[in-house]
Structures are given as structure tokens and as C-alpha cells.
Structure 1
């Protein structure tokens, strides 16, 4: 239990998303007997002793920040999802297509975040039975460990990683979780470094600082200041190399975000070159190029480059709203709003999100609300989205004027669902951004 508390404390200190560790008191004999009577079977001896002498329930959840760049050998980003509960101990349900003869052979002690199950196999006479994972989509069983005690030890060694198949299979062998495998060792070494490496230590060398940035990104001003002590063109060159040579698209994106925070000015000419067909053009995904273009080039230069491709895509001249959303969302500009106005049409899904994140002014939103049917519905949904996400217009809202406009259009609406959305916008005005 001390190891779990220390793990969670260190993860939180390093910026991981952590749900408070939940540890309940040990179970009483009466509580254990009550569950056994409900199940109609004894709880295996070792697990029963753990429930009675340790804790009847433990829950642990954590996840790494989005900007974390893991070693290439780690195919799926691990996250914490570990625990058990006496009160939830039950026979598993393997679905209508499952083998009913399997159910009485297992007890389910934990449900993974994706709905899959962790199970204790009820082998007759075995005091500490094996632990298995069942995938509800694949209807397959994976051995996790030959005993419950061994399962707890192995999972704890791996940082209490989650139970779903994307988490554990990369660390499994014939005997279940293999903490000695190459992949497990790479992960364990990375995790230990993530938990202990400080910015002060990393600032002593550029290579160490790049490692720190791969774990924490470079949005923090202190990290940017640490990079500023080194030659800016050397920094740019090393980050550029990582963007180009990263094997995974999400790693390329993460290194691009570091570049934007640290070397945006130095990267401008290189980003321009990415709009020409060359070797590096092929190495950079379109989404990464769009992101770099939005943040490394002047808007007047970069936005037309992206818009030209959006307008000349594979939709026979029509602009697909989700293509526009994904490619233009980084600009967050009134110029995007002006451009999209001539393209907005039903269905509006995608257009509303792009409008919401393009930093609209109150005046622009009001003009859209008084525009065509497609513009009005786009603006209405964008406003509701902004309210939910606590995004405010770049200029103050005149609540009285907005309430009048929204009420008038609500009263003209025939469809009940549209009336409801207008009501939602009206009710959210007072808590949004009033002048």
C-alpha cells in the first residue's frame, strides 16, 4: 500500500492526471460470509485473507498528459486502472453468446474502463488461484498471473497499469504479465525517470532538457526559459530532427508542439518548405504541417495555404465541414470565420465547432444568428458549445440584446428540438460573458 501511495504522489507531482487513491478498511468476517452466501461459494483463501487483513476495496486511476512522448517500443500509452472490491465481487456475465459453463469457473473482482473484466479462476482446492482478463469484444481470456498475489506484485511493478487489452498485452508472455520482458523493462525505466527527473536537473544539458520536454511538453514558461540558455538554432535543429524522424504521428505532433513553444521563429523557413513536394514533405503528416503552419507562419501567409487545399480536396469542389474543422482549427482567427461563411450549409456538424474555436466576437455571432438558416443554426450550436466549454467571445455580450434576438428566433421555430436549444442558450446567458 505504501508503494501505491508513493506512486500516486509522484505521478501527481509530475503533472499526471490522478484520481485520489481509494483504500477501504479491511473486511469483517461477517461481511465476507455475507458475500460468500450471496455467491454460493467460498472466496479463495489467499484473496479472502487479503480482504480481511488488508483492504476490502482499493481503486486507483491515473493517466499521463497528452504531451508525453513514450519510447517507440511502447505501442499503447499505459494508464492506471487497478483495484478490487468485495461488495462488487460477482459472477461474470459473458454475454448472450458466451459459454455459460465458463461463468461458474470465475469470480469477477474488477471491471476495466472499457467494460472488460478481471477474474479469479476458481480451480478446486487452489488457495491462491490464477488471475485472468476477459475481453467482451473478442470473447477471449488472457492469463494475467498464476496467482492473485503474483498479479498484484506484477501490476504494482508496472505502475498499476490498466486492465484493458491495450494496456497489458504489450507486457504479457505465456505466464501472464512479464515484468522482465524487454518492453516491460523499457516502460519501467521510462516511468521511473518520469517520476524522478526534475527541470533543474534537466537544464544542465540540452539532451536532458529534450528528454524532459518529451515528458512534459514545453508550454510552461520555465521550460522555455531553460531552452533559452542554449543556442537557438541548435535547439531548433534537434527538435526538427525529432519531428522528422519520430515513427508515430502523435509523436511528430508532440515534438511539433515543443517546436512551436521553443523555436517557432527559427522553424518558419522549414515550414514553408513543407508546402513543396520533397523528402521531408512526405515525412510530415498533413495535420502536423497544418499545425506548424498556423503557429510558425504569419496568418496572412499560412492560412491561404491551408484553405487552398481544403477548397480543392477530394469532394468535387465541396468543402467537407469536418475537413475544414480539423485543418483550420489551429488558426483561431476571424479570418477563418469570414471564409467559412460562404461555405456553411446543412448539416452543420463541424461548422459549429469551427466557429466556436475561431475566437468569434459577440458581434460576429450575433450577425450569424441573424443570417441564413444554416448560419443561425451554426451560431446557435456554437454558442451552446462555447457556454459548455466556458469559452467566451472576444468582445462583451449585451445580454439584453442577445436575449431579445434569441427569444424572437425561438418563438419562430417550429421544431421542438430547435426551440430547446434556443432555450438552453437563453438560460446560459447570465452566467456566460455579460457586459
Structure 2
């Protein structure tokens, strides 16, 4: 990832946290650790038994090995009806947590979603989980083909966002999600910004309105 893109993403995160802080919400500090080493990445790949998607590998090696921050709107802050389910943002992924997320994902596959021929189950197969949403859902990268490797939402309970395409690859995902201040990560917080074809659009009219309401010029 080039320096301009790295700085752009971090600045968007910082701007969102500043906006939430002005509203009187809760902000957990932004932590962006240094990049991983090649040895770190190769060790993770050995433990996972698969190569990392190219964009994820590049982000870990040239941007950060671990990112973490959260924000919460004030309890008494009310957004318009179309945004009524939005209350927080949660971005946390690391070279360490990827392995744990995939262990959790594999458990769901074994117990609940074992059939790759079933359309719902199939979304859980041939993907690499990168973030545990915290409610049994995951953000994951498809590894069914070489490139691109789109980022997809995995819902464990028939969530409307199941299979939502969050980005063309992990870098594109970070660019899109950062434009929304990393809202979520539950699927129902993403849905106002989903297109009819099941993709995330941070440039849609609702996204523009949302940024204006929060006061985040990102």
C-alpha cells in the first residue's frame, strides 16, 4: 500500500473519531501498529495452511500488523429513521486475530453450515475470516479464485447482509469502510449503504447524508 493511501485511511479514521467525540460519544483510542515482517506473515500462512490473499498480505506488510479502534454515539443521540440502527463503529483486525477468527469460522461451518452446495452455506466456504464481528458473524475475504478476492459479510443467523460485498479486495474494503467511519460491524449498520446488487457504496446519497449528520468530512 502506498503512503498516500495509508495516510488517507488513517486520516479518515481520525476524523471520524474526532466527530464522534464532538457529539459527546465514546471513543476508544486508535491503535495502528507497525507493519508485520515477512516472517510473521509466512508463519501465519503456515498455521492457516493457505496463502493470504495478495491485498491482505500487502496491507499487513506495508501498512500495519494490527489496527484497533471503536466509537459509540451518545445514548441520547438520534439519527433519522434511515440510519436508526447505527450506533457504533468497530474496526479491529491483526495478524494474531486472523487465526482465531478462522478457528471460529470453521466451527460454524462444521456445526451449522457444512454444505457448500447450499446457497447460504456456500458463502461461509472458501473464505478467510479477518474480523470477528462479535455476534457470531464475520468479515471475510473470498479465496475461491486468485484475484480479486472480495471482502464478504458472513451472517450466522439469516442476517440481511449475508453475502454483502464490502470491497473488491482488502485494500478496497479499507478505503470504502473508512469513508463510512468504519460503521458497524454488524450487517444491519451497513445496510443503508448497500446497493441493489449487494455491494457497499460509500459514495451513495445516504452515505453523504450520514457523514453530514455526524459532522465527519471523510
User: What is the TM-score with the length of structure 2 in the denominator?
Assistant: 0.80
1:51-79, Cα deviation, whole Å (9 max, x unpaired): 01110111121110011121232231241
8 Å CA contact 1:59–1:82 kept in 2: the answer is: yes
Return structure 1 stretches of 4+ with deviation > 6 angstroms: none
Q: Which runs of 5+ in 2 are unaligned?
A: 1-9, 117-121
User: What is the TM-score with the length of structure 1 in the denominator?
Assistant: 0.42
Q: Which runs of 5+ in 1 are unaligned?
A: 197-435
8 Å CA contact 1:84–1:110 kept in 2: the answer is: yes
Structure showing the higher strand proportion among its residues: 2
8 Å CA contact 2:25–2:73 kept in 1: the answer is: yes
Structure showing the higher helix proportion among its residues: 1
Q: Could you say which residue in structure 2 is the equivalent of 1:129?
A: 149
- The alpha-carbon deviation at position 7 of structure 1 amounts to 2.4
Within-5 A mapping of 1:14-413: 14-90=23-99, 91=102, 92-93=105-106, 94-95=108-109, 96-99=111-114, 101=116, 102=122, 105-126=126-147, 128-138=148-158, 140-173=162-195, 174-192=197-215
8 Å CA contact 1:146–1:175 kept in 2: the answer is: no
- The alpha-carbon deviation at position 124 of structure 1 amounts to 2.3
1:142-164, Cα deviation, whole Å (9 max, x unpaired): 22222222211111111110121
1:206-227, Cα deviation, whole Å (9 max, x unpaired): xxxxxxxxxxxxxxxxxxxxxx
- The alpha-carbon deviation at position 87 of structure 1 amounts to 1.1
Distance, in Å, in 1 between the alignment partners of 2:88 and 2:198 is 22
Secondary structure at 2:166 match in 1: strand
- The alpha-carbon deviation at position 9 of structure 1 amounts to 3.1
8 Å CA contact 2:154–2:163 kept in 1: the answer is: yes
Change (3 A) 1:5 1:75: closer
Distance, in Å, in 2 between the alignment partners of 1:33 and 1:56 is 13
Structure whose alpha-carbon radius of gyration is higher: 1
